[in-house]
Amino acid sequence: MKLGRLNHIGVAVPDMEAARAFYRDSLGATEIGEPFDMIEQGVRVCFVDTPNGGTQVELLAPLGEDSPVSGFLGKNPLGGQHHLCFEVPDIAEARAEFEGQGKRILGPTRIGAHGTPIFFVHPKDMGGVLTEIMETPEGGH
């Protein structure tokens, strides 16, 4: 495995607009994107940037009952840290390596919020951390 940059930390939120206001007013974030729906992934997404190209916070609100964040919010009604996302240079190679380690990969490789391929690895095989692996965008982040 060739570990790349920590691209984003996924944070599940029960109320997207309240979360955006919190990052703006309490944390002083100045770069807060517009929310957008990723219907196939069942989530509404909004990126909060940190300075100097730092790791982003990915706010995630559920779209519908079947959303992968619905169960999480059921257990954590205030929301909370949901996943870490690491970049890798080659998504197919990374997937094959995790498979070789016997880890449970959650679903197919698909296109993520940054437009590059992603997959998820089960938290129970990753020290309790739901882990997203994403291919580094062309030209870096």
Tell me which residues touch Co ion (CB under 5 A). Answer: 10, 58, 85, 132
123 binds ligand MC0 (CB under 6 A): yes
If binding is defined by CB under 6 A, does position 71 make contact with ligand MC0?
Answer: yes
Q: Which is it for strands 80-88 and 131-135: parallel, antiparallel or unpaired?
A: parallel
Short-list 24, 22, 73, CA closest to 44: 73
Spatial separation of the C-alpha atoms in residues 120 and 110, rounded to whole Å: 10
Q: What angle do CA 47, 77, 81 make, to 5 degrees?
A: 40
- Which of the 8 DSSP states describes residue 136? P
87 is catalytic: no
Shortest distance in whole angstroms from residue 49 CB to ligand MC0: 14
Q: Which does 135 bind (CB under 5 to 8 A by kind): ligand MC0, Co ion, none?
A: none
Q: How far is the CB of 23 from ligand MC0 (least distance, A)?
A: 17
Residue type, 22: F
> DSSP alpha helices (H): ranges in the chain?
16-25, 70-75, 91-100
Smallest gap from residue 139 Cβ to ligand MC0 (A): 18
Q: Does 43 bind ligand MC0 (CB under 6 A)?
A: yes
Which stretches of the chain bind ligand MC0, using CB under 6 A? 10, 38, 41, 43, 45, 58, 60, 68-69, 71-72, 82-83, 85, 106, 112-113, 118, 120, 122-124, 128, 130, 132
